[in-house]
Amino acid sequence: MALDYEWFQQMEERIPKGEVRTRFAPSPTGYMHVGNLRTALYTWLIARHAGGKFLLRIEDTDQTRKVEGAVEVIDRTLAQCGLDHDEGPDVGGPVGPYIQTQRQELYGKYAELLLERGGAYRCFCEKTDEAEVHGAALGKNALKHECPYRNISREASDALAAQGKPYVIRQKIEPGVTSFDDVIFGKITVDNSDLDEGVMVKSDGLPTYNFANVIDDHLMGITHVVRGNEYLASAPKYNLLYQAFGWEVPTYIHCAPVMRDEQHKMSKRHGDPSYEDLLAEGYLSQAIVNYVALLGWSPEGEEEIFSLEELVKVFDISRISKSPAIFDKDKLTHFNEVYLRAMTPEDFAAVAEPYIRQSVHEPDIDPAKVATTLQARCKVLTDIPAQVDFYDRLPPYDLDLFVNKKSKSTMESALELLQAVLPRFREVKAWEPEEIKTAMTALAEELGVKNAKVMWPVRIALAGKTVTPGGAPEIAWILGKNRALARLEKAVQRLKAVE
């Protein structure tokens, strides 16, 4: 068929120029693993650091792997992480559509142009192994295809196609060498004989990743491409496509993988957490993003805690490492602690409330009050329910808990002091932590004992635990006067029963 060169020229004229343009182009396969999030983050940071544009493109040409709701997961993750996009399926833009299956007709036209320019040929072989198509996307050349139709004339190829004979379109690679530059790995040169002439367009008319990726990156004006270094083997074939079309090659940034340990990549199949898993485990999105930024990138100086705005200012692609990064859950937990401590009390109370309410259901117990005891003691938000479950219901506890050598507390002294505390608590008019504490410290002073000897039995009587977020005054305040008095009276009755 005759090519409409004016249409191709119009497509070229649509391409934005004169700015850094990056894209995050995930496949909708179900969840956002840590490596995906890092790619999105680095891509976003490159664009924002340069004052450019960040695009979201959904690469759904492999319909067999598409998972219902996966696009929503991608959108939600980017929004929660603060990675806003300037163009994409939901916001539109000058070079849409931004979903590959909506661009199918476009790929067909560029496949015809590539055939015209000698960069591709039709393969009419009866069977093309699907594994070859998937393997080609990762540069796996084990299944090299020797095609008897490679060198037939264009007229003969057109005639077979006109007869309705099924075919795929393959990239044509001539002898020689191909070189490309990568920001991280430098200049890489390969012998073209090592490259497979992979499928560009499948028999159903849908493009493979290798072909659609190049077409879309060019037509969307992408200047910097961030991807995993498993795609290094495919980069020469991308370059040959750019050259066949006469297009400028973008800047390549191939990142080393994120590893579970020194031998194994992170993998959902092996139980490694996705971004959503980490949220469910009680990590803050800001802490996750900050930590993920450091998985393969190092800032200047010793500082490691950065807000997203600070990362935009300091991010430099030349400081991305060639070496794989090992995901360290302990370090992520440390980051999370730092972020939790830095929150305002109001913000912490807001994020803590759902976790508090998992075990504290009494409506008259204020979760904001409970949160004041937790902020300095919480590593991840999922720690909270088990720490505060005693507010709803006093757990069964052994009276031996009243015995504490450090506080010089015994069961006998505990009984004596609780009996003395009860009337003091009844007299407290303003039921606030300082007033409650004053009542106990005044009693200790009168009796000539250390504060701890009074505080310890009150804590045990109120919480039934030796370790609690907050001390006796805070626990009594949160429980409320009536509930606190009732628990103290119950402890006195139990201790009397063993005299």
Residues forming the active site: 268
Q: What 8-state DSSP symbol labels residue 318? A: G
The whole-angstrom separation of Cα 206 and Cα 160 is 20
Parallel, antiparallel or unpaired: strands 53-56 and 21-24 = parallel
The whole-angstrom separation of Cα 289 and Cα 143 is 39
Question: In angstroms, how far apart are the furthest CA atoms of the chain?
Answer: 108
The whole-angstrom separation of Cα 481 and Cα 477 is 7
182 Cα distance to chain centroid:
25
88 Cα distance to chain centroid:
19
Q: Are 30 and 67 in contact (CB under 8 A)?
A: yes
Q: What 8-state DSSP symbol labels residue 72? A: H
**Could you give the C-alpha distances from 453 to 427, 459, 475, 494, in angstroms and in order?**
21, 11, 17, 19
Torsion of CA 58, 64, 67, 70, to 10 degrees: -10
**Could you give the C-alpha distances from 341 to 208, 224, 338, 384, 410, in angstroms and in order?**
48, 37, 5, 14, 36
Closest to 246 in 3D by CA, of 114, 109, 96:
114
State the number of CA atoms in the 13 A half-sphere of 23 facing the CB. Answer: 28
Please name the residues in contact with 382: beta carbons below 8 A apart, sequence gap of 6 or more: 280, 281, 282, 355
Q: Are 117 and 8 in contact (CB under 8 A)?
A: no
Handedness of CA 260, 264, 265, 268 (dihedral sign): negative
Q: Are 138 and 233 in contact (CB under 8 A)?
A: yes
What is the separation, in whole angstroms, between the first and last Cα of the chain?
Answer: 103
What tokens appear for 460 in the block?
């045990």
Place of tokens 């305002």: 344
The whole-angstrom separation of Cα 144 and Cα 125 is 14
Q: Are 169 and 241 in contact (CB under 8 A)?
A: no
* 13 phi and psi angles, rounded to 5 deg: -70, -20
CB atoms inside a 10 Å sphere around CB 174: 8
